[in-house]
Copies of this chain bind each other. A is one copy, B any other.
Amino acid sequence: MQSHQFFLYLLIILLTARLFAELVTRMQAPSVIGELLAGVVLGPSLLGWIHPVEAIKLMAEIGIILLLFEVGLATDLKRLVKTGAKSAVVAISGFILPLLMGFSLSYWIFDLSVLVSLFIGGTITATSIGITVRVLSDLHRQHSTEGQIVLGAAVLDDILGVVLLALLYEFSSGGGVSFFNASKVLIFVGAFFVLAPIAAKLISLVIRRFDNVSLVPGLLPTTVISLVLFFAWLAHALGAPELLGGFAAGLALSRRFFLPLGIALNTDEQFANRIEDQMRPIVQLFTPIFFVFVGLSLNLHEIDWSSPFIWGFSLTLVLVAIIGKMIGPFFINENMATRVMIGMAMIPRGEVGIIFAELGRVSGIFSNEIYAGMIMVIALTTLLPPFVMKWYYGRYGELLQAES
């Protein structure tokens, strides 16, 4: 790809994302919707100006990892641990219910094969952390109780989704399902999540020491990005989603991170401020690229709008995808408004869903019709909740716990 062509793509993406984000914000919608719409408009669904080329894809992936880094940076680990049990309930129920319900619907009602039904169930399991986080932060609810519960749950069900994907991948490629392998992946990912922030914390201490003796300007942007990329790479190497590496790195550099065993490393307030100030413009530059890229990846032309099967299939599946996420929060001890808010925040499917659908299509498991139906489910679950959540928050906001 010629560089001037790439520059043109990138600037069109950045400016359109900005324009749509500002417009939808004025129409009371969260800005992330504008960025997704920008991708739909620029991509194959409408204008077809921008092709999701590799360099844009890679920058988009840096974008989502950096967004998770920023989320980690702003996360209070103590509170995340406190809400951990509730997050686990929301995550596990929100993983199992859509999987079972999606499978049952496909297998018994729509008469599809076991493998196809499993892939359909899998596609609707994982909440899109990126979209959920952006919606919560657009509403300034990312540090609220429900924000913390949702964040923990989304992280957990992403892990479960990826483990399921690994299993189904082996299954579909004829390898048979090995529960030994599945548990190995799960243990690796679990270990990563416990150990990575601690390792990242130790590395961040090295960066801080180096920061005092560095003779060349620009230490923080390059080393912090390197740290984030390293943990993204490590997460992948251990079978976890890459964006969890960004979250772990952010958690480690956050103001309130503490090591276990009482080794409280008091974070230098000034150092934490400098990291935030210098990383913010970089995060703000890369993040919109990701959401535009998600929009670019949805081809609405692939949906045969006249097929009754697709409408019946995908609309019932959307219902299942919504109900499957709304039930879990009722098992936790929060007031009704908070439960509803948590359930809605868990609805958007995105990255992992698209990966599932893409794998299903490429491996021939999904027919074009099924694939189109899945794209429609992902699009609706992604595009609707932000509006409903914003409206709900406007109406019932006073019933939610104040920022704690």
Contacts from A to B (Cβ < 8 Å): 1, 3-4, 6-8, 10-11, 14-15, 17-18, 21-22, 25-26, 31, 34, 54-55, 57-59, 61-62, 214-223, 225-226, 229-230, 232-233, 236-237, 242, 277-282, 284-285, 287-288
In order of increasing CB-CB distance, the 5 nearest A-B pairs are A218-B284, A4-B236, A11-B229, A221-B281, A278-B281
With beta carbons under 8 angstroms apart, the residue of B4, B34, B221, B232 that contacts A282 is B221
* Copies per assembly: 2
Chain B residues within an 8 Å CB radius of A220: 281
Of A14, A57, A223, the most chain B CB neighbours within 10 A belong to A14
In the complex, how many angstroms separate the beta carbon of A326 from the nearest chain B beta carbon?
A: 29
Residue of B at shortest CB range from A24? Answer: B216
Cβ A219 vs Cβ B57 within 8 A: no
Chain B residues within an 8 Å CB radius of A284: 217-218, 221-222
Tell me, in angstroms, the Cα distance from A12 to B339 when the chains sit together. 45
Cβ B221 vs Cβ A7 within 8 A: no
List 20 additional A-B contacts (Cβ < 8 Å) besides A18-B222, A55-B55. A1-B54, A3-B57, A4-B232, A7-B62, A7-B229, A7-B236, A10-B226, A11-B230, A14-B229, A15-B226, A18-B216, A18-B219, A18-B226, A22-B214, A22-B215, A22-B216, A25-B216, A222-B284, A225-B285, A278-B280
Tell me, in angstroms, the Cα distance from A11 to B230 when the chains sit together. 7
With beta carbons under 8 angstroms apart, the residue of B55, B226, B230 that contacts A58 is B55
Chain B residues within an 8 Å CB radius of A287: 218
Residue of B at shortest CB range from A278? Answer: B281
Chain B residues within an 8 Å CB radius of A15: 222-223, 226
Tell me, in angstroms, the Cα distance from A6 to B61 when the chains sit together. 10
Known: A215-B25, A233-B8, A279-B281. A222 touches B14 (CB 8 A): yes
Chain B residues within an 8 Å CB radius of A25: 215-216
Residue of B at shortest CB range from A65? Answer: B7
Residue of B at shortest CB range from A12? Answer: B226
Residue of B at shortest CB range from A245? Answer: B7
Cβ B216 vs Cβ A4 within 8 A: no
Chain B residues within an 8 Å CB radius of A217: 284
In the complex, how many angstroms separate the beta carbon of A200 from the nearest chain B beta carbon?
A: 13
Known: A58-B55, A215-B22, A215-B25. A285 touches B10 (CB 8 A): no
Chain B residues within an 8 Å CB radius of A218: 280-281, 284-285, 287-288
Cβ A58 vs Cβ B6 within 8 A: yes
Residue of B at shortest CB range from A60? Answer: B3
Tell me, in angstroms, the Cα distance from A324 to B10 when the chains sit together. 40
Tell me, in angstroms, the Cα distance from A15 to B207 when the chains sit together. 11
Chain B residues within an 8 Å CB radius of A8: 229, 233
Chain B residues within an 8 Å CB radius of A7: 62, 229-230, 232-233, 236, 242
A-B contact pairs, 17 of them (CB 8 A): A7-B233, A10-B225, A11-B229, A11-B230, A14-B229, A18-B219, A22-B216, A25-B216, A31-B216, A54-B54, A54-B55, A55-B55, A217-B284, A218-B284, A222-B288, A278-B280, A282-B282
In the complex, how many angstroms separate the beta carbon of A315 from the nearest chain B beta carbon?
A: 32
In the complex, how many angstroms separate the beta carbon of A4 from the nearest chain B beta carbon?
A: 4
Cβ A215 vs Cβ B11 within 8 A: no
Chain B residues within an 8 Å CB radius of A6: 58
Chain B residues within an 8 Å CB radius of A54: 1, 54-55
Residue of B at shortest CB range from A230? Answer: B11
Chain B residues within an 8 Å CB radius of A223: 14-15, 18
Tell me, in angstroms, the Cα distance from A232 to B26 when the chains sit together. 32
Residue of B at shortest CB range from A35? Answer: B216
